[in-house]
Amino acid sequence: DDLIGQGQVAGKRVFVRADLNVPLAGATITDDGRIRAAVPTITRLAEAGAKVIVASHLGRPKGEPDPQFSLAPVAARLGELLGKDVAFAADTVGDSARATVAGLADGQVALLENLRFNAGETAKDDAERGAFADELAALADTYVGDGFGAVHRKHASVYDLPARLPHAAGGLIATEVGVLRKLTEDVTRPYAVVLGGSKVSDKLGVIDHLLEKADRILVGGGMVFTFLKAQGHEVGKSLLQEDQLPVVREYLARAEARGVEFVLPVDVVGATGFPDLKTLAPSSPVTAAVDAIPGDLIGLDIGPESRKLFAAKLADAATVFWNGPMGVFEHPDYADGTRAVAQALIDSPAFTVVGGGDSAAAVRILGFDENAFGHISTGGGASLEYLEGKTLPGLAALEG
Ligand code: 3PG
């Protein structure tokens, strides 16, 4: 709105850094939530008469063009959602990008190819990133940062480019920050947090911070086996991060000292082999209590008693933040734990926030109504780092 008011938009080339990093199976988009979330800002700018240049990363290519990470399928879907043609540039700062931008009329939209096809985007070296940001800046007059899912990355298009152009935050970033602020300042209690996902090492920072903030922390997903092991259980062939055991033990002790309740599963569902996620062929799931996990079992979900326990622990919360699936929800045999947590959030009168690329995709893929949750964040790592209280480069750059 600031930029529109200042006349920085009408007739101008406006660079919109979105996060269109969606899950793909081949060239098929399996969850378009991030593309839909990007639409309102793009529409507003186009309606205000901007020539809108949208840019994003997709996946983690190695700094050079790699067709499996092309944004071409995203351009097609974005066009459908906008109800207008999206011109797709076959590169990010090359001939195709320059010609595509030059061909835009006021109110038209272009999408550049994957920013990470250029090594400068993610370079650690400031000068290398700056050089790429200079090339991006030459394409545009104005910058709008709206890729909330990537604001924790100190990348050229996120961090260096806004310093080179008049800039502002888009509506998605404003909404996301508004919601996450409610979880960090004046949170309504009891505050329960559900954490899942595979690696405990990805969640240590946020757990450390939540030990000061949350009343209750429920843990599922692959990371839970490191917690169960720390409590003295055998976990069979389940995912285990041995090197994290000391820190997990320290967190459990600190939680007890502070009166923060850690809720761990009492039973798990698993199998002796990893399920086939391509064919989704039926596997042979086994349920085991956590004190009797067979030596050959790979834990793949929380069990039926744990689903009841988790639902009960969420029922009387006033605020809930959920990040990370409870199991391998992509396979129907191991989706019940994730489904139960989603349902518990829906049934709870609490203010509920689903954070994370994976958990957000999970609720949609499992068929839940997005509107039944307080907020579904487009940020995975970004929302966790926000909750940790870290300075996020992409937000700091927009304030400058
Ligand atoms: C995400 O999916 O969390 C964001 O798009 C950032 O992606 P990255 O972890 O590859 O930087």
Question: Which residues are known binding-site members for ATP?
Answer: 203, 299, 330, 356-359
Q: Are the CB atoms for 176 and 377 separated by under 8 Å?
A: yes
In terms of C-beta density within 10 A (0-12 exposed, 13-18 middle, 19 or more buried), how is residue 114 classed?
A: buried
Supply the pLDDT for residue 78. Answer: 98
Give, using CA atoms, the residue closest to atom 9 of ligand 1.
Answer: 381
pLDDT, average across residues 311-326: 96
- Among 229, 83, 170, 208, smallest CA distance to 395 is for 170
Supply the pLDDT for residue 226. Answer: 97
Residue 6 has pLDDT above 80, yes or no: no
Ligand 1: does its nearest atom lie under 6 Å from the Cβ of 19? yes
* Least-confidence region, from 22-26, 238-242, 315-319: 22-26
Give, using CA atoms, the residue closest to atom 3 of ligand 1.
Answer: 380
Per residue in 233-263, pLDDT tens? 999 999 999 999 999 999 999 999 999 999 9
Residue 3 has pLDDT above 90, yes or no: no
Q: How far is the CA of 350 from the centre of ligand 1 (A)?
A: 28
Question: Which residues are known binding-site members?
Answer: 19-21, 34, 57-60, 116, 153, 203, 299, 330, 356-359
Q: How far is the CA of 149 from the centre of ligand 1 (A)?
A: 6
Q: Are the CB atoms for 170 and 399 separated by under 8 Å?
A: no
Mutation pick for ligand 1 pocket among 17, 19, 30 (CB with most ligand atoms within 8 Å): 19
Ligand 1: does its nearest atom lie under 6 Å from the Cβ of 325? no
In 3-state terms the chain splits into helix, strand, coil percentages (rounded to 5) of 45, 15, 40
Supply the pLDDT for residue 42. Answer: 97
pLDDT, average across residues 326-355: 96
Q: Where residue 4 falls among pLDDT bands split at 50, 70, 90?
A: confident
Supply the pLDDT for residue 202. Answer: 86
Average confidence score pLDDT of the chain: 95
Helices (H) and strands (E) in the chain — how many of each? Answer: 15, 17
Per residue in 268-306, pLDDT tens? 999 999 999 989 999 999 999 999 999 999 999 999 999
Q: ipTM of the assembly? A: 0.98
Q: Which helix (H) or strand (E) holds 181?
A: helix 171-184
Query: Percentage of residues in the chain with pLDDT exceeding 90?
Result: 88
Structure tokens at 46: 């186009």
The whole-angstrom separation of Cα 363 and Cα 67 is 29
Ligand 1: does its nearest atom lie under 6 Å from the Cβ of 385? no
Q: How far is the CA of 280 from the centre of ligand 1 (A)?
A: 26
Q: How far is the CA of 231 from the centre of ligand 1 (A)?
A: 32
Residues designated as active site: 34, 199, 357, 381
Ligand 1: does its nearest atom lie under 6 Å from the Cβ of 358? no
Backbone angles phi, psi at 287, to 5 degrees: -105, 135
Q: Are the CB atoms for 192 and 317 separated by under 8 Å?
A: yes
Structure tokens at 137: 């800046």
- Among 226, 69, 38, smallest CA distance to 149 is for 38
Question: Which residues are known binding-site members for substrate?
Answer: 19-21, 34, 57-60, 116, 153
Q: Where residue 400 falls among pLDDT bands split at 50, 70, 90?
A: confident
Strand ranges in the chain using DSSP code E only, listed in sequence order: 13-17, 24-25, 28-29, 51-55, 86-88, 109-111, 142-145, 167-169, 191-195, 216-219, 261-263, 267-271, 286-289, 298-302, 319-323, 351-355, 375-376
Q: Are the CB atoms for 299 and 225 separated by under 8 Å?
A: yes
Supply the pLDDT for residue 188. Answer: 94
Q: SS3 for 356? A: coil
Supply the pLDDT for residue 2. Answer: 78
Strands 286-289 and 267-271, bridge-based pairing: antiparallel
Ligand 1: does its nearest atom lie under 6 Å from the Cβ of 380? yes
Q: How far is the CA of 197 from the centre of ligand 1 (A)?
A: 15
DSSP annotation of 261 reads E
CA distances from 392 to 59, 98, 310, 397, 398 (A): 20, 30, 32, 9, 10
Supply the pLDDT for residue 20. Answer: 97
Q: Which residues have a Cβ under 8 Å from the Cβ of 246 and sit 6 or more positions away?
A: none
Can you tell me which atom of ligand 1 is nearest the CA of 57?
5
Q: How far is the CA of 100 from the centre of ligand 1 (A)?
A: 26
Per residue in 169-221, pLDDT tens? 999 999 999 999 989 888 999 999 999 998 888 898 899 999 999 999 999 99
